[in-house]
């Protein structure tokens, strides 16, 4: 069965070698990820090899021809951060070459994922359509546009059916998707924002080859910043080309090369800080996504393409407000689910829940929170529309359980669905939810039991004597962290604490001091350890003769001056043998 997060967490230590030096620590971490120093030395010029992605040159040549012929261009992008940062790059490029006959459409979440019918019906004179972060499976709107004499270019990264028959794959003029079965590209994990950046490089080259009398924008600065933001926010692996985009994009963000992102950072309380991939993932990305979750994604697009300081400030303030609304709605959903699970503890390996009071734009992030904090299992949360008797949901998986494959085996029950192995979106008739939940549980029953036990992998045991500024500085060279290159996790057995204090608005975080004086923070540690916010409880390891194991990260404290630990877990944690 799935596991109550507080009931049992087991961690595996990947490498049992005890390091003697900081260099030993770095060598072990790189070995755990099958990486070498060469993986961290690649630069922007190394992205050139990825211009060979199937359709890239063909699509760029086709669009260059339409631009030089003065044809109207319609850009349709998904309403999430990846789609919006892709659309912003495309629009900024058109603006900088002086091209004005284009329209950008960011659909409402109410319209659902993909290309809405109105994109075609409202633009009958358009000669070329471009779909960003969608389009691979949008058979009907693509077919209709092409039947009207337009070309259609799809730039996408979602799964592509291997069988093109049966209306499974859109009949676009060009599909640029590294997951296309005919694409021989060695790297398959781009998101749309990264692909758009590459496409603009190919388009720039195509226009030059035609000796177009146009200005040719330098594809650094704001383009890299937007590509990095979409890449990090979309949770694609930050390795290979994605690492190059993220690392260089972060440099441009920190150089204030993208005023809209700088304005968002100020609103998020990050002014003056050196931003990392974590800041994008936890602060900037959610604010861009919040527009589509509680209002209209077009507002975030307007921010990212604006150049007027007053307008930037106003739009950034709107996104800040939307993000606050999103957080409140998320807390409401998670709180209601927590109460349900307390009254009726789940007994299976999956969790499927729904309510007419939950908003479609927030169920995905709520599903992640439920899985992280309440119940470790594949989770599907539905927002039910009673009027249409339909439900729109988001699925979040756990390592080892491929939710895309699972949903493919439930496709006869679903109206529409799509995604990848870790997350997906789906629409279903309300009267079929129970059958769907039963089938998903049956599929989960085919998997090994140990993948449903919460925990994870720790890089190595770390002597506290090595924890200090030298190690923090060395670890910074391994950034940016994300999927494929996670932030290193360390183990310490027998930790003792001098003190533990709750803090935060909800008094649910813990600030601790280890026996040697090191500062440590345990986010939501009060809730996770005591279940009552940490009030009137003594922390294990603080009493005479008591000691506990911890899993932790290392970085600078809030003031950036001292080494500090971020505790991820505490208790009797470790299995004896690595997997």
Backbone angles phi, psi at 228, to 5 degrees: -65, -40
* pLDDT class of 570 with cuts at 50, 70, 90: confident
Q: What does DSSP say about strands 151-155 and 174-176: parallel, antiparallel, or unpaired?
A: parallel
Average pLDDT in the chain: 90
Q: Does residue 441 carry a pLDDT above 80?
A: yes
Question: What burial letters (b/e) apply to 332-351, b meaning 16+ CB within 10 Å?
Answer: bbbeebeeebeeeebebbbb
Which tokens belong to 406? 């699972």
* 516-535 pLDDT per residue, tens: 889 999 987 876 655 444 44
Rounded to whole angstroms, how far apart are CA atoms 82 and 489?
28
Q: How confident is the model at residue 545 (pLDDT cuts 50, 70, 90)?
A: very low
Eight-state DSSP code of residue 247: H
Of 456 and 354, which is predicted with more confidence? 354
- Separation between Cα atoms, residue 106 and residue 304, nearest integer Å: 13
Tokens of 92: 């900024």
Residue 540: strand, helix, or coil: coil
Helices (DSSP H) in 11-80: which residue ranges?
22-32, 56-68
Within 354-480, where are the H helices? 363-373, 403-408, 433-444, 469-476
Structure tokens at 61: 């040549």
Supply the pLDDT for residue 534.
42
**pLDDT, tens digit (0-9, with 9 covering 90-100), for 42-87:** 788 999 999 999 999 999 999 999 999 999 999 999 999 999 999 9
pLDDT band at 300 (very low <50, low <70, confident <90, very high): very high
Would you place residue 270 in the very low, low, confident or very high pLDDT band (cuts 50, 70, 90)? very high
List, edge to edge, every strand of the sheet that includes 423-429: 351-355, 379-385, 390-396, 423-429, 414-419
34: Cβ contacts below 8 Å, ≥ 6 apart: none
Helix (H, G, I), strand (E, B) or coil at 193: helix
Is pLDDT larger for residue 362 or for residue 41? 362
- Tell me the per-residue pLDDT of 197-252, one tens digit each, with 9 for 90 and over: 999 999 999 999 998 888 888 998 999 999 999 999 998 999 999 999 999 999 99
| Contact in structure between 265 and 283 (CB atoms under 8 Å) | yes
Residue 542: band (very low, low, confident or very high) from pLDDT cuts 50, 70, 90: low
Helix, coil or strand: residue 98? coil
Q: Domains in the chain and their CATH numbers? A: 3-41+455-571 (2.40.50.460), 44-320 (3.90.1640.30), 350-446 (3.10.310.30)
Residue 499 banded pLDDT, cuts 50, 70, 90: confident
Quote the pTM value.
Answer: 0.87
* pLDDT band, very low/low/confident/very high, at 4 (cuts 50, 70, 90): low
Contact between 229 and 288 under an 8 Å Cβ cutoff? The reply is: yes
C-alpha closest to that of 292 among 119, 81, 128 = 81
User: Contact, 40 vs 478, CB < 8 A?
Assistant: yes
Query: Tokens 């190394």 identify what position?
Result: 46
Written in H, E and C, the secondary structure of 263-293 is HHHHHCCCCCCCCCHHHHHHHHHHHHHHHHH
Contacts of 554 (CB under 8 A, 6+ apart): 467, 471, 472, 475, 488, 490, 563, 564, 565, 566
Coil, strand or helix at 426: strand
Separation between Cα atoms, residue 547 and residue 394, nearest integer Å:
40
Cβ–Cβ under 8 Å, residues 283 and 270: yes
219 with 200: CB under 8 angstroms? yes
Give 103's strand partners.
74
Could you read off the pLDDT of 334-344 as tens digits, one per residue? Answer: 999 999 999 99
d(CA 531, CA 545): 24
SS3 percent helix, strand, coil of the chain, rounded to 5, is: 40, 20, 40
Residue 150 is predicted with a pLDDT of 98
């Amino acid at each position: 069965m799935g596991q109550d997060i507080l009931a049992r967490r087991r961690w595996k230590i990947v490498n049992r070698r005890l390091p003697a030096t900081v260099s030993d620590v770095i060598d072990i971490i790189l070995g755990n990820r099958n990486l070498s120093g060469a993986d961290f030395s690649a630069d922007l010029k190394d992205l050139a090899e990825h211009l060979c992605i199937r359709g890239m040159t063909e699509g760029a040549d086709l669009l260059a021809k339409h631009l030089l012929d003065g044809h109207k261009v319609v850009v349709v992008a998904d309403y999430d951060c990846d789609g919006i940062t892709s659309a912003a790059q495309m629009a900024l490029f058109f603006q900088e070459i002086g091209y004005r006959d284009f329209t950008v459409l960011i659909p409402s979440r109410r319209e659902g994922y993909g290309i809405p019918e109105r994109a075609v019906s409202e633009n009958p004179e358009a000669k070329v359509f471009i779909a960003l972060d969608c389009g691979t499976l949008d058979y009907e709107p693509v077919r209709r546009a092409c039947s009207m004499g337009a070309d259609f270019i799809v730039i996408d990264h979602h799964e592509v059916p291997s069988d093109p028959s049966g209306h499974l794959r859109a009949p676009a003029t060009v599909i640029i998707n590294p997951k296309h079965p005919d694409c021989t590209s060695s790297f398959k994990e781009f998101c749309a924002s990264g692909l758009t950046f590459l496409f603009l490089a190919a388009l720039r080259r195509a226009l030059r080859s035609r000796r177009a009398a146009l200005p040719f924008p330098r594809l650094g600065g704001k383009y890299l910043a937007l590509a990095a933001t979409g890449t990090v926010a979309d949770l694609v692996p930050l390795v290979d080309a994605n690492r190059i985009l993220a690392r260089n994009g972060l440099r441009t963000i920190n150089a204030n090369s993208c005023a809209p992102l700088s304005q968002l950072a100020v609103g998020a309380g990050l002014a003056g800080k050196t931003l990392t991939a974590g800041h994008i993932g936890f602060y900037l990305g959610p604010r861009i996504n919040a527009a589509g979750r509680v209002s209209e994604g077009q507002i975030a697009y307007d921010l990212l393409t604006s150049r007027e300081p007053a307008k930037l400030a106003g739009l950034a303030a709107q996104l800040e407000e939307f993000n606050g609304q999103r957080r409140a709605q998320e807390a409401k959903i998670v709180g209601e689910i927590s109460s349900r699970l307390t009254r009726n503890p789940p007994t299976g390996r999956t969790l499927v829940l729904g309510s007419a009071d939950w908003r479609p734009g927030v169920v995905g992030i709520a599903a992640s929170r439920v899985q992280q904090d309440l119940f470790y299992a594949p989770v599907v949360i539905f927002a039910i529309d009673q009027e249409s008797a339909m439900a729109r949901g988001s699925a979040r998986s756990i390592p080892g359980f491929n939710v895309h494959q699972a949903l493919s085996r439930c496709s006869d029950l679903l109206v529409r669905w799509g995604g990848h192995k870790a997350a997906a979106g789906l629409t279903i008739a309300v009267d079929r939810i129970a059958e769907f939940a039963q089938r998903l549980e049956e599929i989960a029953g085919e998997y090994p039991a140990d993948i449903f036990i919460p925990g994870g992998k720790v890089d190595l045991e770390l002597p506290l004597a090595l924890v200090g500024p030298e190690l923090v500085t060395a670890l910074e060279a391994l950034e940016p962290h994300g999927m494929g290159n996670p932030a290193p996790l360390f183990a310490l057995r027998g930790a003792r604490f001098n003190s533990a204090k709750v803090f935060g608005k909800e008094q649910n975080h813990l600030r601790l001091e280890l026996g040697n004086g090191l500062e440590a923070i345990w986010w939501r540690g009060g809730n996770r350890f005591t279940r009552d916010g940490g009030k009137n409880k003594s922390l294990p390891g603080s009493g005479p003769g008591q000691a506990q194991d911890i899993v932790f990260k290392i970085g600078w404290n809030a003031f950036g001056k001292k080494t500090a630990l971020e505790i991820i877990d505490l208790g009797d944690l470790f299995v004896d043998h690595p997997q």
